[in-house]
């Protein structure tokens, strides 16, 4: 067994690209060059404590096609227009990056962001994508915000409580399903490049669509490792036949869904499990305790009202479940966890709680702004029961 103290003392790097992106963001607001001291303090104000030598190495060694030395200890962006045109650099505006605890948040399209990242730089992915695709399109989020139906339906109120809107996946047609498959193939391909060998990739899904997610991602260079079942009472299914509920009052069209499948994938190992663990820190799951391995059936509950109040995102996952999951995905507790579809930031808050570095990407500006405040508050939520 590896010495636990030794694991704790391993240097925890910032997620890939964070230092470079902060330097770019600072220099892009400066009209000319800046000193290393000014650049370092600007990076620190954006992302927290970093060593001066890391900043220097990004300026001079790691990104020679991005920064240019203008004099002793002074740097500027190397003609941003030309590097942008060549597709080498996307200038990130300072308001599109935030840091909360050990988490870095980006307001970006995750596919663009992933394209920009070095190979083998992410150690685990825990994400809940827009698996109906259209529910988070601009048109549908506007309908959701104005309460005007679309793919979002309000489930019947229950025990006097108005239920939150849910996306209706049963309205997807064959064309939508084909698009879904293309989307998950593209996602799998992008993740297979940035993930380190042995990285766990956990993708939330639902019983109607998980086969498409799993099939498409398994053809993109990742291996299927099974499913995690989150046992939770949902408001899906269980309804009597529409417009004939009195005639068929002892029939429900679909079972009341009581579980949520999470597709479990892995980037293929580099050698044996033990070789992979030594080289990349990945290739397994962290055990719950010495005599209890992580299991694939996890008892959960709907997201508590307090958490939904902190982060009123329609798909917010509960902290108790997310902390359990996120803790397990880094077998040695070292590395960077990515959520490319961050939403209200439940993955990042969970990563903060278990002491991991994390990165979250969110396309929608309103949800990104929400996550900037909710990640910290969700991090502070006390969870009583553990699965
Ligand atoms: C199902 S929600 C995730 C909710 C999250 N698990 C939570 O607990 O809050 C999916 C999120 O992905 C975002 N999204 C959709 N397409 C995206 C893209 N291409 N890049 C980044 N985010 C995207 C949506 O705006 C939405 O907030």
Ligand 1 centre distance from Cα of residue 383 (Å): 24
Would the pLDDT of 152 be above 70?
no
User: What is the position in ligand 1's atom list of the atom closest to the CA of 340?
Assistant: 21
- Whether 368 lines ligand 1, by a CB cut-off of 6 Å, is no
Cβ contacts of residue 382 below 8 Å, gap of 6+?
none
Q: Which residues contact 62 (CB under 8 A, 6 or more apart)?
A: 20
- Mean pLDDT over 20-42 rounds to 82
Residue 226, sorted as left (phi over 0), alpha (psi -120 to 50) or beta, turns out to be left
Which residue blocks in the chain are alpha helix, DSSP H?
4-9, 18-29, 36-47, 52-57, 80-85, 110-116, 138-146, 174-194, 210-218, 273-280, 305-310, 319-329, 346-354, 365-380
How far is residue 187's CA from residue 190's CA, in Å, rounded to a whole number?
5
User: Does residue 181 contact residue 216 with C-beta atoms inside 8 Å?
Assistant: yes
In 3D space, the residue among 267, 327, 374, 313 whose CA is nearest the CA of residue 130 turns out to be 313
Q: Are strands 74-77 and 223-231 parallel, antiparallel or unpaired?
A: unpaired
Residues in CB range of 150: below 8 A, 6 or more apart: 139, 140, 143, 144
Higher pLDDT, 314 or 32: 314
- Residue 156's pLDDT is 47
The confidence score (pLDDT) of residue 85 equals 47
- The answer to whether residues 353 and 123 touch, using CB atoms and an 8 Å cutoff, is no
Closest CA to 106 of 15, 27, 201: 15
**Contact 236 CB / ligand 1 (< 6 Å):** no
Query: What would the pLDDT profile of 234-259 be if each residue is shown by its tens digit?
Result: 878 899 998 999 999 999 999 999 99
Least confident of 141-145, 159-163, 227-231: 159-163
- What letter would DSSP give residue 268? P
Contacts of 27 by beta carbon, 8 Å cutoff, 6+ apart: 33, 34, 39, 67, 75, 76, 77
Any ligand 1 atom below 6 A from CB of 344: yes
More confident residue, 209 or 268: 268
Distances (CA, A) of 53 to 49, 60, 120, 335: 12, 10, 22, 21
pLDDT at 110: 96
Q: Enumerate the domain spans of the chain.
A: 16-92, 95-380
The answer, yes or no, to whether residue 273 has pLDDT greater than 80, is yes
**Smallest CA separation from ligand 1 atom 3, residue:** 343
Q: Write down the residue that tokens 């404590």 correspond to.
A: 49
Rounded mean pLDDT, 105-109:
95
Residue 360 near residue 345, CB atoms below 8 Å: yes
Nearest atom within ligand 1 for CA of residue 367: 27
- CA distances for 217 relative to 126, 128, 292, 317, angstroms: 14, 14, 29, 22
Distance in angstroms (rounded) separating the CA atoms of residues 192 and 342: 19
Q: How far is CA 191 from the centre of its chain?
A: 11
Which pair of structure tokens corresponds to residue 149?
Answer: 């139906």
pLDDT of residue 59: 85
Collapse the DSSP code of 46 into the 3-class scheme (helix H, G, I; strand E, B; otherwise coil) and give the result.
helix
The arrangement of secondary structure in 95-380, i.e. its CATH architecture, is: 3-Layer(aba) Sandwich (3.40)
176 lines ligand 1 (CB under 6 A): no
| Residue 202, ligand 1, Cβ within 6 A | no
How far is 339 from 342, CA to CA, in rounded Å?
Answer: 5
Tell me how many degrees the CA angle 332-356-105 measures, rounded to the nearest 5: 145
- Which CATH code of 2.40.10.220, 1.10.1040.10, 1.20.120.1730, 1.10.10.10 fits the domain covering 16-92? 1.10.10.10
- The sign of the CA dihedral 331, 333, 339, 340 is negative
DSSP state of 94: G
Cα(152) to centroid(ligand 1), Å: 15
Which pLDDT band holds residue 90 (cuts at 50, 70, 90)? low
Residue 69 has pLDDT above 80, yes or no: yes
Give the mean pLDDT of the chain. Answer: 85
- pLDDT 10s digits, 193-203: 999 999 999 99
CB atoms within 10 A of CB 288: 15
- State which of 105, 130, 144, 205 you would mutate to test the pocket of ligand 1, scoring each by most atoms of that ligand within 8 A of its C-beta: 130
Whether the per-residue pLDDT at 323 is higher than 50: the answer is: yes
CB of 21 closer than 6 angstroms to any ligand 1 atom: no
Which of 90-104, 204-218, 225-239, 341-355 has the lowest average pLDDT?
Answer: 90-104
Distance, in Å, from the CA atom of 247 to the CA atom of 242, rounded to the nearest integer, reads: 10
The answer, yes or no, to whether any atom of ligand 1 lies below 6 A from the CB of 113, is no
Report how far residue 75's alpha carbon sits from residue 72's, in angstroms, rounded to the nearest whole number: 9
């Amino acid at each position: 067994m590896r010495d636990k103290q030794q694991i704790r003392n391993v240097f925890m790097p910032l997620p890939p690209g964070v230092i470079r992106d902060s330097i770019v963001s600072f220099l892009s607001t400066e009209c000319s060059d800046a000193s290393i001291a000014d650049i370092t303090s600007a990076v620190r104000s954006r992302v927290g404590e970093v060593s001066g030598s890391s900043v220097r190495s990004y300026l001079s060694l790691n990104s020679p096609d991005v920064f240019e030395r203008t004099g002793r200890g002074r740097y500027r962006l190397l003609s941003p227009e030309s590097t942008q045109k060549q597709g080498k650099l996307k200038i990130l505006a300072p308001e599109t990056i935030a840091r909360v605890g050990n988490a870095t948040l980006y307001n970006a399209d995750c596919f663009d962001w992933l394209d920009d990242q070095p190979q083998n730089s992410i150690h685990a992915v825990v994400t809940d994508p827009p698996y109906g695709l259209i529910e988070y399109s601009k048109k549908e989020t506007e309908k959701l915000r104005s309460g005007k139906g679309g793919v979002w339906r309000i489930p019947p109120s229950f025990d006097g409580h108005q239920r939150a809107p849910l996306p209706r996946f049963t309205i997807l047609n064959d064309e939508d399903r084909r698009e879904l498959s293309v989307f998950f193939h593209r996602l799998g391909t992008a993740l297979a490049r940035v993930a380190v060998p042995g990285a766990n990739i956990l993708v939330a899904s639902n019983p109607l669509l998980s086969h498409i997610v799993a099939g498409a991602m398994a053809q993109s260079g990742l291996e299927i490792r099974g499913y995690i079942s989150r046992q939770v009472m949902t408001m899906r299914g269980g309804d009597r036949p529409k417009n004939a509920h009195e005639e068929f009052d002892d029939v429900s069209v679909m079972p009341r869904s009581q579980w949520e499948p999470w597709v479990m994938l892995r980037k293929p190992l580099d050698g044996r499990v033990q070789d992979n663990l030594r080289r990349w820190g990945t290739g397994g799951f962290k055990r719950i305790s010495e005599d209890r391995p992580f299991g694939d059936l996890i008892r959960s509950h709907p997201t508590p009202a307090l958490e939904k109040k902190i982060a009123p995102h329609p798909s917010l996952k509960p902290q108790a479940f997310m902390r359990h999951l996120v803790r397990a995905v880094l077998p040695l507790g070292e590395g960077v966890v990515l959520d490319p579809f961050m939403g209200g930031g439940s993955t990042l808050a969970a990563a903060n709680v278990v002491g991991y570095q994390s990165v979250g990407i969110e396309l929608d500006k309103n949800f990104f702004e929400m996550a900037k405040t909710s990640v910290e508050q969700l991090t502070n939520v006390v969870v009583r029961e553990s699965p």
